[in-house]
Amino acid sequence: MALKNPRADHYDRLETRAPKQREAALLAALPKLVAHAKRRAPGFTRILAQVDPAKIKSRKALATLPVTRKSDLTELQAMQRPLGGLNATPVAKLAKIFMSPGPVYEPEGRAKDWWRSARALYAGGFRAGDLIANTFAYHFTPAGSMLESGALAIGCTVVPAGVGQTELQVAAIRDLGIGGYIGTPSFLKLIVEKADEMKADISSLKKAHVGAEYLPPALRQAMLARGIRVTQSYGTADLGSLAYESLGPDGSVNQGMILDEGPLLEIVRPGTGDPVPVGEVGEVVITSFNRDYPLIRFGTGDLSAVLPGASPCGRTNTRIRGWMGRADQSTKVRAMFVTPKQVNEVVRRHPEILRARLVVEGESGNDRMTLKCEVKERPGGLAEAIVGSIRELTKLRGEVELVAPGSLPNDGKVIEDARKYG
């Protein structure tokens, strides 16, 4: 299963471009994308009303545009069915419309490999002629179609298995000699356990590509011990494939996830549109160059961070640390909602604060909240002034604790809920 020459084994030549070349190409495409979205997608006509597309030709300029968050979609879509006007291609010209819980509607266009999953599968060792079971659901949600279209683009033969019916899954792998699995890591575990229970020979299964949930390292190891090499990728129902793992010469999995060649990534401080320094955990914000659904600064609500350095597989794109949790840390304190946006508003009012983290503690009905602020200097009255801002912005009483720069954890959290439950 090891790739003979992994450094040469790339999906296309885009993957090995010089990073400067890639960055130049993305930035050159940016003004056209913004113009296209403004012209064709009524939602962006409104959102970007004040924006001159020709001026959006740098990351700095991009960072001035508003972030449209995944959490805004339900409201936007209720205002304008079905896609909140964020689609540049009219619904009648699309291939499919999906419906995820919320409900949130997501489009699929008519281009081949519209979700760009082929690149991720290829990096995971999937090749033309491979027979694979796609166990993502095809009903309502896009995951099944997303991975199927990529597998077909590579030239794999797909068994559209969907989720559930574990015994049937095992029977299909055994009868057909299926070599590849696509789905969630937890469902892979269920299938393998069911095969053991049925004493079914599923040794044909050699590779698995997983996503949509956390992959425990122990599960990856346990699968490898059975001869199944697991790679993962990260994507969303709105944007398609965003980043993926690659393989080393010995078949081992390289650290981190490599960005897809399509989208432009920013990592921002949760609740804001402000990019964080390289390495700091924040919210994944994507600008998608998809012509049908040109999302500009789309806040995924997912946490990740840039992983410095290049992947040993020869792909030159930025690496990220994969999915690190959800960015939306809105929480209720004494029956009032406190949001990352409010916390960031407090920080904005006091230039002395470098970084802040609101820690909520206490027992049910007796919540205490403390804003821990990294500061270099501590001018008199600063803490008291911040307390005043907290009260004004959250309508709640909060303590303030001034701490040294670098002493807050790097986990993307703006609000930490440290209360005991249950």
CB of 92 to its own copies, least distance (A): 4
CB of 231 to its own copies, least distance (A): 21
Q: Tokens standing for 15?
A: 């993957």
* Strands of 179-294, DSSP E: 180-183, 207-210, 229-236, 240-244, 257-259, 264-268, 282-287
Q: Using the minimum distance from each CB to its own copies, give the nearer residue, 130 or 261.
A: 130
Q: At its nearest, how many Å lie between its own copies and the CB of residue 56?
A: 31
Least Cβ distance, residue 373 to its own copies (angstroms)? 44
Structure tokens at 257: 């996830």
Instruction: Give me the least distance between CB of 203 and its own copies, in Å please.
Output: 15
**Token pair belonging to 207:** 């590779």
Q: Locate 349 and state its tokens.
A: 């009012």
Closest residue by Cα to residue 282 from 269, 273, 301, 265? 269
Q: Which is nearer to its own copies, 83 or 390 (CB)?
A: 83
3-state secondary structure at position 304: strand
* Nearest CB to its own copies, comparing residues 34 and 94: 94
Q: Which is nearer to its own copies, 132 or 303 (CB)?
A: 132
Cα separations (Å) of 232 from 100, 215, 245, 400? 22, 8, 6, 41
CB nearer its own copies, residue 164 or residue 279: 164
Which helix (H) or strand (E) segment is 34 a member of?
Answer: helix 19-40
Of 128 and 418, the one with the shorter C-beta distance to its own copies is: 128
CA angle 353, 355, 361 (to 5 degrees): 105
Q: Write down the least CB distance from residue 233 to its own copies, Å.
A: 21
Beta strands in 11-117 (DSSP E): 68-69, 96-100, 104-108
Q: Which is nearer to its own copies, 94 or 371 (CB)?
A: 94
Nearer to its own copies, 94 or 343 (CB): 94
Cα 416–chain centre separation: 21
Task: Tokens 């999995």: give the residue.
Answer: 253
Q: Are 170 and 202 in contact (CB under 8 A)?
A: yes
Residues in the chain: 422
Which of 56, 158 has the CB closer to its own copies?
158
Cis before residue 294, ω within 30 degrees of 0? no
**Where does this chain bind its own copies (CB under 8 A)?**
81-82, 91-99, 103, 105, 110, 128-131, 137-140, 144-145, 152, 157-165, 168, 171-172, 175-177
Whichever of 92 and 225 has its CB closer to its own copies, that residue is 92
CA distances from 310 to 23, 246, 260, 289, 320 (A): 15, 12, 14, 24, 10
Q: How far is the CB of 356 from its own copies (least distance, A)?
A: 39
Q: Which residues contact 27 (CB under 8 A, 6 or more apart)?
A: 57, 58, 59
Would you say 1 or 168 has its CB closer to its own copies? 168
Least distance to its own copies, CB of residue 89, Å: 10
Q: Closest separation between CB of residue 73 and its own copies, Å?
A: 13
Q: How far is the CB of 236 from its own copies (least distance, A)?
A: 18
Q: Give the CA distances from residue 125 to residues 84, 163, 221, 313, in Å, rounded to whole numbers and listed in that order.
A: 37, 23, 17, 12
Which tokens go with 346?
């407090």
Given a contact cutoff of 8 angstroms between Cβ atoms, the answer to whether 216 and 168 are in contact is: no
CB of 102 to its own copies, least distance (A): 11
